[in-house]
Amino acid sequence: MGKYNWTVVTCVQTLLWACYNIIEWLSTKDGYIAKGILFIFFFYLSYLVAFNMLKLKKRAILLSSISLIIYGIGYEIFGILRSVY
């Protein structure tokens, strides 16, 4: 059952970061402080989702951090590809 929970948490966090990306794209006129607050809110939300599903603080923080790193890498890769093409 533990692997099932990791899979579900990963899918939900992927959806959360996709929602963050859409909201950031729609808020082009917002300043950096507002975007920073939005980023912190979504990171905390991803932690809460992971903690409520896994019931383990360290693993929730680890999984949230890993999903954040993967999101950041993917965001940069697609940004580079978008600028090339």
Distance between CA atoms of residues 71 and 76, nearest Å: 9
29 three-class SS: coil
Q: Indicate the DSSP class of residue 6.
A: H
pLDDT in tens, 40-80: 999 999 999 999 999 999 999 999 999 999 999 999 999 89
Task: Specify the number of domains making up the chain.
Answer: 1
Q: Which domain holds residue 26?
A: 2-84
C-alpha span between 43 and 46 (Å, rounded):
5
The alpha helices in the chain, defined as continuous H runs, are 2-26, 32-54, 57-84
Whole-prediction pTM value? Answer: 0.86
Report the pLDDT value the prediction gives residue 73, as an integer from 0 to 100. Answer: 96
For residue 28, name the pLDDT band (cuts at 50, 70, 90): confident
- Number of C-beta neighbours around residue 27 at 10 A: 12
